[in-house]
Amino acid sequence: MTSIRAKTGLILGLLMASATFAANLPDLGAAERDAAQQGKDVYILFTGPSWCYYCQQLEDKVLSQPGVKDAIGKDFVIFESIYDRLSHKPEDQPAIEAHLKLAAQFHVSGYPTLVLATADGKEYFRQTGFPGQTPDAYLKMLTDAKQTRTTRDSMLALADRAAAEENLAEKTKLLEEAYAEIGEGATDPMLVPALWKLAEIGKKGGVDAEIVLKYRAIAALVEVRQVDPWSNPDRAIEVTSVLLDEVKQTDPKSRDLLLGKRSIAYYVKQQYALCLADLKAQKEVDPKPDEVQAEIDQIQKQANQPAH
Protein backbone atom coordinates (compact mmCIF):
# COMPACT_ATOMS: atom_id res chain seq x y z
CA MET A 1 0.00 0.00 0.00
CA THR A 2 1.24 3.50 -0.81
CA SER A 3 1.25 6.11 2.01
CA ILE A 4 -0.33 9.38 0.92
CA ARG A 5 0.74 11.62 3.80
CA ALA A 6 1.40 15.10 2.44
CA LYS A 7 4.55 16.61 3.93
CA THR A 8 4.14 20.06 2.42
CA GLY A 9 2.06 22.92 3.78
CA LEU A 10 1.70 24.45 0.34
CA ILE A 11 -1.62 24.49 -1.44
CA LEU A 12 -1.38 21.55 -3.81
CA GLY A 13 -3.33 22.86 -6.78
CA LEU A 14 -6.57 24.78 -7.00
CA LEU A 15 -9.35 23.11 -5.04
CA MET A 16 -12.80 22.85 -6.57
CA ALA A 17 -15.26 25.47 -5.43
CA SER A 18 -17.87 23.05 -4.14
CA ALA A 19 -17.81 22.34 -0.40
CA THR A 20 -18.16 18.68 -1.29
CA PHE A 21 -14.71 18.95 -2.86
CA ALA A 22 -13.15 20.21 0.37
CA ALA A 23 -12.52 23.64 -1.07
CA ASN A 24 -11.03 25.05 2.10
CA LEU A 25 -8.57 22.27 2.82
CA PRO A 26 -4.99 23.54 2.57
CA ASP A 27 -3.27 20.25 1.81
CA LEU A 28 -3.69 16.54 1.34
CA GLY A 29 -2.92 15.83 4.97
CA ALA A 30 -5.87 18.03 5.92
CA ALA A 31 -8.06 16.12 3.46
CA GLU A 32 -7.06 12.87 5.13
CA ARG A 33 -7.82 14.24 8.58
CA ASP A 34 -11.18 15.50 7.42
CA ALA A 35 -11.93 12.10 5.89
CA ALA A 36 -11.06 10.37 9.15
CA GLN A 37 -13.40 12.64 11.08
CA GLN A 38 -16.24 12.02 8.62
CA GLY A 39 -15.67 8.28 8.22
CA LYS A 40 -14.90 8.65 4.51
CA ASP A 41 -12.14 7.75 2.09
CA VAL A 42 -10.09 10.20 0.01
CA TYR A 43 -10.53 10.89 -3.71
CA ILE A 44 -7.32 12.37 -5.15
CA LEU A 45 -7.36 13.73 -8.69
CA PHE A 46 -4.22 14.80 -10.55
CA THR A 47 -5.39 16.90 -13.47
CA GLY A 48 -4.38 19.62 -15.91
CA PRO A 49 -7.54 21.10 -17.43
CA SER A 50 -5.72 24.03 -19.05
CA TRP A 51 -3.79 21.75 -21.42
CA CYS A 52 -4.90 18.11 -20.99
CA TYR A 53 -7.68 17.02 -23.39
CA TYR A 54 -8.78 14.00 -21.32
CA CYS A 55 -8.79 16.10 -18.15
CA GLN A 56 -11.15 18.48 -19.91
CA GLN A 57 -13.32 15.55 -21.02
CA LEU A 58 -13.50 14.19 -17.47
CA GLU A 59 -14.56 17.59 -16.18
CA ASP A 60 -17.07 18.27 -18.96
CA LYS A 61 -18.65 14.82 -19.27
CA VAL A 62 -18.61 13.72 -15.63
CA LEU A 63 -17.50 16.04 -12.84
CA SER A 64 -19.45 19.10 -13.99
CA GLN A 65 -22.67 17.15 -14.51
CA PRO A 66 -25.51 17.77 -12.02
CA GLY A 67 -25.30 15.74 -8.83
CA VAL A 68 -21.96 14.05 -9.57
CA LYS A 69 -19.86 15.99 -7.08
CA ASP A 70 -22.48 15.56 -4.37
CA ALA A 71 -22.65 11.82 -5.06
CA ILE A 72 -18.87 11.46 -4.82
CA GLY A 73 -18.83 13.55 -1.65
CA LYS A 74 -21.08 11.09 0.16
CA ASP A 75 -18.23 8.58 0.41
CA PHE A 76 -15.10 10.64 -0.23
CA VAL A 77 -13.33 13.85 0.71
CA ILE A 78 -12.07 15.00 -2.66
CA PHE A 79 -8.71 16.62 -3.20
CA GLU A 80 -7.74 17.95 -6.60
CA SER A 81 -4.17 18.80 -7.55
CA ILE A 82 -4.01 20.88 -10.73
CA TYR A 83 -0.92 20.98 -12.91
CA ASP A 84 -0.85 24.27 -14.78
CA ARG A 85 2.23 23.46 -16.79
CA LEU A 86 1.64 26.21 -19.36
CA SER A 87 1.84 28.99 -16.79
CA HIS A 88 5.06 30.98 -16.50
CA LYS A 89 3.78 33.34 -13.84
CA PRO A 90 6.13 33.51 -10.85
CA GLU A 91 3.21 33.31 -8.42
CA ASP A 92 2.14 29.96 -9.93
CA GLN A 93 5.50 28.23 -9.60
CA PRO A 94 5.21 27.15 -5.93
CA ALA A 95 1.91 25.38 -6.67
CA ILE A 96 3.40 23.77 -9.79
CA GLU A 97 6.45 22.55 -7.86
CA ALA A 98 4.25 21.22 -5.06
CA HIS A 99 2.07 19.40 -7.56
CA LEU A 100 5.07 17.80 -9.26
CA LYS A 101 6.42 16.66 -5.91
CA LEU A 102 3.14 15.04 -4.97
CA ALA A 103 2.74 13.54 -8.46
CA ALA A 104 6.20 11.98 -8.15
CA GLN A 105 5.26 10.58 -4.75
CA PHE A 106 2.29 8.86 -6.37
CA HIS A 107 4.23 7.79 -9.49
CA VAL A 108 1.76 9.63 -11.73
CA SER A 109 2.47 8.62 -15.31
CA GLY A 110 -0.35 10.39 -17.15
CA TYR A 111 -3.25 12.80 -16.80
CA PRO A 112 -5.78 12.68 -15.40
CA THR A 113 -4.87 10.21 -12.64
CA LEU A 114 -7.42 9.29 -10.00
CA VAL A 115 -6.29 7.68 -6.74
CA LEU A 116 -8.65 6.38 -4.06
CA ALA A 117 -7.20 5.90 -0.60
CA THR A 118 -8.28 5.27 2.95
CA ALA A 119 -8.23 8.11 5.45
CA ASP A 120 -5.04 6.72 6.98
CA GLY A 121 -3.22 7.07 3.68
CA LYS A 122 -3.39 3.67 1.97
CA GLU A 123 -4.04 3.67 -1.76
CA TYR A 124 -6.42 0.99 -2.97
CA PHE A 125 -7.54 2.04 -6.46
CA ARG A 126 -6.12 3.97 -9.41
CA GLN A 127 -7.29 5.01 -12.87
CA THR A 128 -5.02 6.79 -15.31
CA GLY A 129 -6.67 8.59 -18.21
CA PHE A 130 -10.35 8.94 -18.93
CA PRO A 131 -11.95 6.14 -20.98
CA GLY A 132 -15.12 8.11 -21.63
CA GLN A 133 -17.38 6.81 -18.87
CA THR A 134 -20.83 8.22 -18.37
CA PRO A 135 -21.48 9.86 -15.00
CA ASP A 136 -23.36 6.75 -13.84
CA ALA A 137 -20.52 4.45 -14.94
CA TYR A 138 -17.93 6.66 -13.25
CA LEU A 139 -19.85 6.69 -9.97
CA LYS A 140 -20.35 2.92 -10.16
CA MET A 141 -16.59 2.49 -10.60
CA LEU A 142 -16.01 4.43 -7.39
CA THR A 143 -18.71 2.52 -5.51
CA ASP A 144 -17.39 -0.86 -6.68
CA ALA A 145 -13.82 0.06 -5.74
CA LYS A 146 -14.84 1.10 -2.23
CA GLN A 147 -16.97 -2.02 -1.80
CA THR A 148 -14.04 -4.21 -2.83
CA ARG A 149 -11.83 -2.36 -0.36
CA THR A 150 -14.42 -2.97 2.37
CA THR A 151 -14.54 -6.66 1.44
CA ARG A 152 -10.76 -6.90 1.49
CA ASP A 153 -10.55 -5.26 4.92
CA SER A 154 -13.20 -7.62 6.27
CA MET A 155 -11.25 -10.59 4.89
CA LEU A 156 -8.02 -9.35 6.46
CA ALA A 157 -9.74 -8.90 9.83
CA LEU A 158 -11.02 -12.48 9.66
CA ALA A 159 -7.53 -13.59 8.61
CA ASP A 160 -6.03 -12.00 11.71
CA ARG A 161 -8.59 -13.75 13.89
CA ALA A 162 -7.88 -17.06 12.14
CA ALA A 163 -4.14 -16.63 12.61
CA ALA A 164 -4.60 -16.15 16.35
CA GLU A 165 -7.09 -19.02 16.72
CA GLU A 166 -5.56 -22.25 18.08
CA ASN A 167 -8.62 -24.46 17.62
CA LEU A 168 -8.36 -26.03 14.17
CA ALA A 169 -12.10 -26.28 13.57
CA GLU A 170 -12.62 -22.65 14.54
CA LYS A 171 -9.64 -21.56 12.43
CA THR A 172 -11.09 -23.35 9.40
CA LYS A 173 -14.49 -21.78 10.05
CA LEU A 174 -12.99 -18.29 10.14
CA LEU A 175 -11.15 -18.91 6.88
CA GLU A 176 -14.35 -20.13 5.25
CA GLU A 177 -16.15 -17.01 6.46
CA ALA A 178 -13.42 -14.87 4.91
CA TYR A 179 -13.73 -16.58 1.53
CA ALA A 180 -17.51 -16.36 1.74
CA GLU A 181 -17.08 -12.58 1.63
CA ILE A 182 -16.25 -12.84 -2.07
CA GLY A 183 -17.37 -16.32 -3.13
CA GLU A 184 -15.70 -18.38 -5.84
CA GLY A 185 -15.75 -15.68 -8.49
CA ALA A 186 -13.17 -13.26 -7.12
CA THR A 187 -11.47 -11.35 -9.92
CA ASP A 188 -10.36 -8.03 -8.45
CA PRO A 189 -6.58 -7.72 -8.06
CA MET A 190 -7.14 -5.67 -4.92
CA LEU A 191 -8.08 -8.91 -3.17
CA VAL A 192 -4.90 -10.80 -4.11
CA PRO A 193 -2.90 -10.06 -0.92
CA ALA A 194 -5.83 -11.06 1.28
CA LEU A 195 -6.40 -14.26 -0.68
CA TRP A 196 -2.78 -15.36 -0.36
CA LYS A 197 -2.69 -14.41 3.31
CA LEU A 198 -5.72 -16.58 4.01
CA ALA A 199 -4.20 -19.51 2.15
CA GLU A 200 -0.90 -19.14 3.99
CA ILE A 201 -2.64 -19.01 7.38
CA GLY A 202 -4.48 -22.21 6.48
CA LYS A 203 -1.28 -23.90 5.37
CA LYS A 204 0.67 -22.96 8.50
CA GLY A 205 -2.27 -23.66 10.77
CA GLY A 206 -2.75 -27.26 9.72
CA VAL A 207 -6.00 -26.78 7.83
CA ASP A 208 -6.92 -29.68 5.53
CA ALA A 209 -4.55 -29.71 2.54
CA GLU A 210 -7.35 -29.91 -0.03
CA ILE A 211 -9.06 -26.86 1.46
CA VAL A 212 -5.81 -24.90 1.44
CA LEU A 213 -5.19 -25.96 -2.16
CA LYS A 214 -8.63 -24.66 -3.09
CA TYR A 215 -7.85 -21.34 -1.42
CA ARG A 216 -4.53 -21.04 -3.26
CA ALA A 217 -6.23 -21.90 -6.53
CA ILE A 218 -8.67 -19.02 -6.04
CA ALA A 219 -5.76 -16.67 -5.37
CA ALA A 220 -3.97 -18.01 -8.43
CA LEU A 221 -6.94 -17.38 -10.68
CA VAL A 222 -7.10 -13.77 -9.56
CA GLU A 223 -3.38 -13.01 -9.69
CA VAL A 224 -2.55 -14.72 -12.94
CA ARG A 225 -4.97 -12.49 -14.82
CA GLN A 226 -2.67 -9.58 -14.03
CA VAL A 227 0.40 -11.16 -15.62
CA ASP A 228 1.05 -10.15 -19.24
CA PRO A 229 3.01 -12.92 -21.00
CA TRP A 230 3.55 -10.78 -24.11
CA SER A 231 5.28 -7.85 -22.44
CA ASN A 232 6.84 -9.71 -19.51
CA PRO A 233 7.27 -13.37 -20.47
CA ASP A 234 9.93 -14.14 -17.85
CA ARG A 235 7.70 -12.97 -15.00
CA ALA A 236 4.72 -14.80 -16.49
CA ILE A 237 6.70 -18.04 -16.61
CA GLU A 238 7.90 -17.57 -13.04
CA VAL A 239 4.46 -16.86 -11.59
CA THR A 240 2.52 -19.45 -13.55
CA SER A 241 5.11 -22.14 -12.81
CA VAL A 242 4.73 -21.56 -9.09
CA LEU A 243 0.95 -21.55 -9.34
CA LEU A 244 0.84 -24.64 -11.55
CA ASP A 245 2.74 -26.50 -8.87
CA GLU A 246 0.11 -25.38 -6.36
CA VAL A 247 -3.03 -26.26 -8.31
CA LYS A 248 -1.63 -29.52 -9.73
CA GLN A 249 -4.42 -31.66 -11.19
CA THR A 250 -7.16 -30.86 -8.67
CA ASP A 251 -8.43 -27.70 -10.34
CA PRO A 252 -8.82 -28.13 -14.14
CA LYS A 253 -10.07 -24.55 -14.65
CA SER A 254 -7.02 -23.05 -12.97
CA ARG A 255 -4.67 -25.42 -14.76
CA ASP A 256 -6.19 -24.57 -18.13
CA LEU A 257 -5.73 -20.84 -17.55
CA LEU A 258 -2.18 -21.16 -16.22
CA LEU A 259 -0.95 -23.49 -18.95
CA GLY A 260 -2.42 -21.24 -21.62
CA LYS A 261 -0.72 -18.16 -20.23
CA ARG A 262 2.63 -19.89 -19.75
CA SER A 263 2.54 -21.33 -23.25
CA ILE A 264 2.21 -17.79 -24.63
CA ALA A 265 5.23 -16.70 -22.60
CA TYR A 266 7.28 -19.62 -23.95
CA TYR A 267 6.11 -18.73 -27.46
CA VAL A 268 7.24 -15.12 -27.03
CA LYS A 269 10.65 -16.40 -25.92
CA GLN A 270 10.66 -18.78 -28.93
CA GLN A 271 10.98 -21.77 -26.62
CA TYR A 272 8.72 -23.83 -28.86
CA ALA A 273 9.30 -27.24 -27.28
CA LEU A 274 8.19 -25.96 -23.88
CA CYS A 275 5.30 -24.08 -25.48
CA LEU A 276 4.08 -27.25 -27.20
CA ALA A 277 4.42 -29.28 -24.02
CA ASP A 278 2.19 -26.83 -22.17
CA LEU A 279 -0.35 -26.73 -24.98
CA LYS A 280 -0.60 -30.51 -25.05
CA ALA A 281 -1.16 -30.54 -21.30
CA GLN A 282 -3.70 -27.76 -21.67
CA LYS A 283 -5.58 -29.72 -24.32
CA GLU A 284 -6.37 -32.38 -21.70
CA VAL A 285 -8.23 -29.91 -19.45
CA ASP A 286 -9.45 -27.24 -21.87
CA PRO A 287 -13.22 -27.30 -22.62
CA LYS A 288 -12.37 -26.62 -26.30
CA PRO A 289 -9.57 -29.09 -27.09
CA ASP A 290 -9.98 -28.66 -30.86
CA GLU A 291 -8.99 -25.01 -30.61
CA VAL A 292 -5.91 -25.92 -28.58
CA GLN A 293 -4.98 -28.56 -31.14
CA ALA A 294 -5.17 -25.93 -33.88
CA GLU A 295 -2.65 -23.86 -31.93
CA ILE A 296 -0.41 -26.91 -31.55
CA ASP A 297 -0.51 -27.57 -35.29
CA GLN A 298 0.33 -23.96 -36.10
CA ILE A 299 3.29 -23.80 -33.71
CA GLN A 300 4.61 -27.17 -34.84
CA LYS A 301 4.76 -25.83 -38.39
CA GLN A 302 6.43 -22.65 -37.26
CA ALA A 303 9.00 -24.56 -35.25
CA ASN A 304 9.51 -27.08 -38.06
CA GLN A 305 8.77 -29.91 -35.67
CA PRO A 306 7.05 -33.07 -36.88
CA ALA A 307 3.51 -33.59 -35.69
CA HIS A 308 2.84 -36.54 -33.40
Tell whether the model's pLDDT for residue 187 goes beyond 70. Answer: no
DSSP structure class, residue 19: G
Residue 3 backbone phi and psi in degrees, to 5:
-70, 140
pLDDT tens per residue, range 79-122:
999 998 888 888 888 888 889 999 998 889 999 999 999 999 88
pLDDT tens per residue, range 277-303:
999 999 998 889 999 999 999 999 888
Distance, in Å, from the CA atom of 58 to the CA atom of 210, rounded to the nearest integer, reads 48
Question: Angle at CA 229, nearest 5°, toward 244 and 238?
Answer: 40
Residue 45 backbone phi and psi in degrees, to 5:
-120, 120
Give the number of other Cβ atoms within 10 Å of residue 196's Cβ.
17
Distance, in Å, from the CA atom of 293 to the CA atom of 281, rounded to the nearest integer, reads 11
pLDDT tens per residue, range 206-261:
888 878 877 777 777 777 777 788 988 998 898 888 778 776 666 787 788 889 99
pLDDT tens per residue, range 147-183:
989 988 998 899 999 999 999 999 999 988 888 887 5
pTM of the model: 0.66
- Quickly name the fold that domain 19-132 has: Glutaredoxin (3.40.30)
Query: Helix (H, G, I), strand (E, B), or coil: what is residue 52?
Result: coil
Question: Angle at CA 54, nearest 5°, toward 135 and 22?
Answer: 60
CA-nearest of 112, 132, 123, 177 to 151 is 177
Tell whether the model's pLDDT for residue 31 goes beyond 50. Answer: yes
Q: Are 235 and 251 in contact (CB under 8 A)?
A: no
Q: Are 25 and 15 in contact (CB under 8 A)?
A: yes
Distance, in Å, from the CA atom of 227 to the CA atom of 233, rounded to the nearest integer, reads 9
Q: Rounded to a whole number, what is the distance in angstroms from the first to the last CA of the chain?
A: 50
CATH 1.25.40 domain locations along the chain: 147-302
Band of residue 306 on the pLDDT scale cut at 50, 70, 90:
low
Sheet of 113-117: strand order equals 76-82, 41-47, 113-117, 123-128
- Quickly name the fold that domain 147-302 has: 1.25.40
- The secondary structure of 87-138, three-state, reads CCCHHHHHHHHHHHHHHHHCCCCCCCEEEEECCCCEEEEEEECCCCCCHHHH
Distance, in Å, from the CA atom of 117 to the CA atom of 45, rounded to the nearest integer, reads 11
Can you give the pLDDT at residue 50?
A: 93
Task: Show Cβ contacts of residue 121 under 8 Å, excluding neighbours closer than 6 positions.
Answer: 3, 4, 5, 32
CATH 3.40.30.10 domain locations along the chain: 19-132
Q: Is the peptide bond before 252 cis (omega within 30 degrees of 0)?
A: no
Can you give the pLDDT at residue 13?
A: 34
Q: Are 291 and 301 in contact (CB under 8 A)?
A: no
